[in-house]
A = this chain, B = another copy of it.
């Protein structure tokens, strides 16, 4: 049994961590938070040059052809530093959609560019308020032209193309690839609780759209890819949870009140212990997810929902209590606590909200994978 990353994967982690600690300090995150840019182009280019974006993309499509385990390692590191880059949209989603359902031509057209960072892709499903479900998708494609509105679309303001779920002529849900630099596309950047990750509304008015995957198979493909992306996202959340815990622990050791470090008070000590507990549970569940991701296990849907629910819970918990441990300072703009708080709450909603994943987890377990978490 080896429910752990390999030594090579750990080397990769150290490598990525070194790169990010140099190129993506909190000041870089703040530059995106406060500035006009939607993401940190230099960090993104650097990740591409490191070969990190294409780590799980086959060599024939310009990647390095390693496994998704390496991508999990990368995701955790991106999460730790809250990297303001569109990796989740472009790699966990767009690249995975192409790998899962793209034609050879589509793969050849886009995967190499995703791997080298030349192009950014994203995925658009939600059309507004509430849980996304098939009935809520109204965007439609007629005669190869897409009409409708998708909102919010993560990184939709900077992406070069988007994979869209829409109704085909027969009203069935299918997936389409739309070039966002083409005609009939309007983008609006949206204000959000986490401005370090861009959100946009994409309006399509007879925009050229090419089918991705089999007609009518849109919901099915999306579910499968979203499960895979959820595991990668869970690693990002895990990284964030761990880092928020470390930040709180360090502050509790340094900050004095009543002549003692505040970490010597049980109220703070036990709060930190509980943060450790949830981060540890999340890590173990993420490793389970990583195993399912690469082993092609039948319980992937259960493992994905498990990792996702656990990591969402842990990151929200750790980011929230990190502020509490910091007291008033934790609520200033100058301290980094709110970066974690924003990110934790934003990631909790991307790919579907916590309650959606909770419900899916139990639905999937009752559909026959009951033994999985026993």
Binding site for B on A (CB under 8 A): 265-267, 270
Cα separation A266 to B270 with both chains bound (whole Å): 10
With CB as the reference atom, state the residue of chain B lying closest to A265: B266
Number of copies: 2
Chain A interface main SS type: helix
A298 to B: closest C-beta gap in Å = 33
A270 contact set on B, CB distance < 8 A = 266-267
- The complex places the Cα of A23 from the Cα of B58 at a distance, in Å, of 82
Q: Complex Cα distance A266/B257, Å?
A: 15
Kindly report which residue of chain B lies nearest to residue A266, judged by CB atoms. Answer: B266
**Nearest CB on B from A260, distance (A):** 12
Q: Which chain B residues border A265 with CB–CB below 8 Å?
A: 266
Give 6 pairs: A residue, B residue, CB < 8 Å, sorted on A: A265-B266, A266-B266, A266-B267, A266-B270, A267-B267, A267-B270
Chain B residues closer than 8 Å to A267, beta-carbon distance: 266-267, 270
Q: Complex: how many Å from CA A265 to CA B266?
A: 7
Q: Shortest distance in angstroms between A277's beta carbon and chain B's nearest beta carbon?
A: 15
| Shortest Cβ distance from residue A2 to the other chain B in the assembled complex, whole angstroms | 38
Give Cα A221–Cα B7 distance, bound, in whole angstroms. Answer: 71
Closest 6 CB pairs of A and B: A266-B266, A266-B267, A265-B266, A267-B270, A267-B267, A266-B270
Determine the distance from Cα of A349 to Cα of B270 in the docked complex, in whole angstroms: 32
Looking at the assembled complex, report how far the CB atom of A47 sits from the nearest CB atom of chain B, in whole angstroms. Answer: 44
Smallest Cβ distance from A271 to chain B, in angstroms?
10
Residue of B nearest to A268 (CB): B266
CB distance from A320 to the nearest CB of B (A): 17
Enumerate chain B residues within 8 angstroms of A266, measured Cβ to Cβ: 265-267, 270
